[in-house]
Amino acid sequence: MTDKQVPLTAEGKSKLEEELEQLRAQRRIVAERIHNAQEQGTSQNDAEYDDAKQEQGMVEGRILEIEDILRRAVIIDVRVAQTAGRVVLGSDVEVEQDGARRRYQIVGAPEADPMHGKISNESPVGSALLGRAVGDTVDVNVPKGVIKVKVLNID
């Protein structure tokens, strides 16, 4: 594991903390399933045991991942982003892309959710927008080729 800082909004940190709490509760339920399957000892329960062990591995892995992210988290000051005059982490940005207006919030990778307008500062569009001002146009290399993105507004 690295010690690289992970930028998160306060909302993103809160969501990760909630998920962690739910996973810790799920951990106990999975442990019970494993215990019950072991007590039964029949071949039918072997599948239940294997399922529960696999789920336990996924739950434990995600718990470790979230704990690591939270340990390295640096909270993005959205107020600073709103007054920066340039696109920074936490900025809400309105852009023209492929002839359409789109709205993005630039966030750290763990809370990126493109379907809800939250794009990572590490994504092609997110990283290309960082440091840009209203009126700037930037060419962005994306998997389908190069697209032009123009900054219309920064909140």
Q: Do 85 and 149 belong to one domain? A: yes
Domain boundary residue among 59, 75, 91?
75
Domain boundary residue among 75, 97, 128?
75
Cα–Cα distance, 126 to 59 (Å, whole number): 30
Q: Do 97 and 49 belong to one domain? A: no
CATH code of 69's domain: 1.10.287.180
Number of structural domains, the chain?
A: 2
Q: Do 121 and 66 belong to one domain? A: no
CATH code of 107's domain: 3.10.50.30
Residue 41, by phi and psi: left (phi above 0), alpha (psi -120 to 50) or beta? left
What phi and psi, each to the nearest 5 degrees, are found at residue 37?
Answer: -65, -35
Q: Do 95 and 143 belong to one domain? A: yes
Q: Do 20 and 71 belong to one domain? A: yes
Q: Which of 116, 108, 122, 79 is nearest to 12 (CA)?
A: 108
Whole-prediction pTM: 0.83
- Amino acid, res. 133: A
Token pair of 75 as six digits = 């909270």
| Domain contains 141 | yes
Per-residue pLDDT of the chain (155 residues; tens, 9 = 90+): 578 999 999 999 999 999 999 999 999 999 998 888 888 776 566 788 888 899 999 999 999 999 999 999 999 988 887 788 899 999 999 999 989 999 999 999 999 999 999 999 999 999 999 999 999 999 999 998 999 999 999 98
| Domain contains 65 | yes
| Domain contains 1 | no
Q: Do 49 and 103 belong to one domain? A: no
- Please report the pLDDT score of residue 43 as a whole number: 58
* CB of 109 closer than 8 Å to CB of 9: no
Give residue 34's domain range: 6-75
